[in-house]
Structure 1
Amino acid sequence: MTPPVFSHGSLRLYLLSLLDESPKHGYELIQALEQRFGGTYSPSAGTIYPRLAKLEEEGLVTKTSQGRKTVYEITEAGRAELRSRHDELRDIEAEVTDSVRRLADEVRVGVKQALTSLRAELASAARESQAKESVRPPGNDPQTQARFALREAELALTEFRQQLRSDLRVHAARGQLTDGFVQRLRADLARLRADILESFGR
C-alpha cells in the first residue's frame, strides 16, 4: 500500500529520481524509500516491481542481471522525463517531508497516551490495593501487605506491556517506527520510572 503522498503516477516518478542518483536493485529502492520516509513507510515488493516493469516497458529504465540480483538503471529518456517534470518532483519531495512529520507525530501521540494510561492504571491498582487492605482481617503485617501490593502492581504492568506491545506491532507493520522514536520511548519510560520512585520518597 502506498502512502497518501504518492498519488497516481507519483511513485513512478519518485523511483525514476532514485535511479537517477545511481543504479539500484529492487531491495535497494525499497531501502532508499524507507530512509526517505525516516522509517515511517516501507513499500512492499508487490508495490515496487510492477512499477519498475512498467518503466522498463516505456523505455525509461533498463535492467541487467548481476548474479542473483537485477539492477535497474535510468535511461536518457527517463532523465528527460525527470527534467520535464522537475516542478512536480519538487512538490512530491515537499509532501514526503510533511508525510514523515505527520506519521511521526501520530506515533509520538500514541506513546504519550499509553504512558498516561500506565500512570492511571498504576494509580488505580494502588487505590484498589488500599481498599482491599482496609477490609482484610487485622493482623496482616506490612511485609504481607507489600507483597500483595507488588503482585497487583505487576499485574497492572503486565497488562500495560501487552497492550503497548500490540500497539507498537501495529505501527511497526506500517513502517512507522524509527530509531529516534525508540530513543524518545526510552526517555519517556525513564521519566515514568523516576516519577514512580519519587512517590516512594526516593
Structure 2
Amino acid sequence: MSPVFAHGNLRLYLLSLLAESPKHGYELIQALSERFGGTYSPSAGTIYPRLAKLEEEGLVTKTTEGRKTVYSITEAGRAELVAREGELDAIEDEVTDSVRRLADEVRAGVNEAMKSLRADLASAARDAKRSMRPVDIQSDARQAANAATREAEAILNEFRQQLRTDLRSQAARGGLPESIIPQLRLELARVRTAILEQLTQRT
C-alpha cells in the first residue's frame, strides 16, 4: 500500500490532534483511522515512538490516568503549530488525497480478488466437465457440484475466520471505526451479487 504521510508529517499531524484535546495513544490511532475513513490505521509501534520524540522536544507532556497514559500539547507545541501552519494545511490536503488513493487501492484489491475467484470457479467447472464420462454424466455432475459446494463453504469459513481475527485484533488495538460496518456490508453485498451473476450465467 502506498505511504500515507511524507517523512516527518505524521509527527506534526499528531501534534495537531493533541491541540484539539488531550488523548492517549489508542485514541490517537482511532482519530487517525476516522480521518481516513477506516482505510488507514497506524500501529502502536508507529505512534508511540513519535509521541516519545515530541515529549523529548518539550512539545507534549504525559500524565497517567489509571492504566492509560494521556498526552497533552504544551505551549511550545502550540507555538510550533502556529509557526508551521502552512505545512499543516499542506498535510491536510495530503490526507485528503491519501484517503482517496487508499480507497481506490482497496477497491482495486477487491476487484482483483473477485476476478481471481471467478476464474477459479470457472476453472473448477471446466475441469469437472472434462472429467465426465458419457455413461455416468448425471452422477459425475452431482459429485462435481457437491465437491464445488464443499470447497466454496471451506473458502467462506476460512474468510470468516480470518476477517474475525483481523477485526478482533483491530478492536484490541483501539476499537473499530464506525465506517467499517457499512463498508463491510457493502463489500459483502458486492461479492454476493458477483457470485450470483456467475452462477446464473451457467444456468
TM range (shorter): 0.7 to 0.9
- The answer to whether the 8 A contact 1:39-1:178 is kept is yes
> Which residue of the partner structure matches residue 103 of structure 2?
104
Deviation, structure 1 residue 160: 5.9
Amino acid at match of 1:113: E
Amino acid at match of 2:27: E
- Which 5+ residue runs of structure 2 have no aligned equivalent? 171-175
SS of alignment partner, residue 6 of structure 1: coil
Q: In the TM superposition, what whole-angstrom CA distance separates every residue of 1:2-34 from its partner, at most 9, and x where no partner exists?
A: x73422321111111000110111111111112
Tell me if 1:119 matches 2:114: no
The number of aligned residues is 193
1:22 correspondence with 2:17: no
Q: CA deviation at 1:73?
A: 1.0
1:28 alignment partner AA: E
How far 1:111 moved relative to its partner?
1.4
- Deviation string for 1:39-69 (max 9, x for gaps)? 2222222222222222222221122221221
2:149 partner letter: E
Identity %: 59
- Is the Cα contact below 8 Å between 1:129 and 1:152 reproduced in 2? no
Give the distance between the partners of 2:4 and 2:198, measured in 1 at CA.
42
Q: Which of these two proteins has the greater Rg computed from alpha carbons?
A: 1
Aligned position for 2:200: 198
Offset at residue 178 of structure 1 (A): 4.0
Within-5 A mapping of 1:36-75? 36-75=35-74
How much does 1:91 deviate?
A: 0.9
Rounded to whole Å, the distance in 2 between the matches of 1:118 and 1:100 is 27
Match of 1:63, SS state, is: strand
CA RMSD of aligned residues (A): 3.3
For 1:16, the aligned partner's letter is L
TM-score by length of 1: 0.78
Q: What do residues 99-155 of structure 1 show as CA deviations (whole Å, max 9, x unaligned)? A: 12212211211211221222222222222222221xx262x373x233222134236
Confirm or deny that 1:145 pairs with 2:149. Answer: no
Q: Which residue identity is paired with 2:140?
A: Q
Question: 8 Å contact 1:23–1:71 — kept in the other structure?
Answer: yes
Taking the aligned partners of 1:97 and 1:197, their CA distance within structure 2 comes to: 39
C-alpha separation between the residues in 2 aligned to 1:126 and 1:46? Answer: 46
Residue 164 of structure 1 and its aligned partner are, at CA, apart by 6.9
Q: Tell whether the 8 Å contact from 2:33 to 2:40 is kept in structure 1 after alignment.
A: yes
Structure 1 residues without counterparts, runs of 5 or longer: none
Per the normalisation by structure 2, the TM-score is 0.78
Q: Cα gap change, 1:162/1:107 in structure 2, threshold over 3 Å: closer, same or farther?
A: farther
Give distance in 1, aligned partners of 2:202 and 2:180: 34
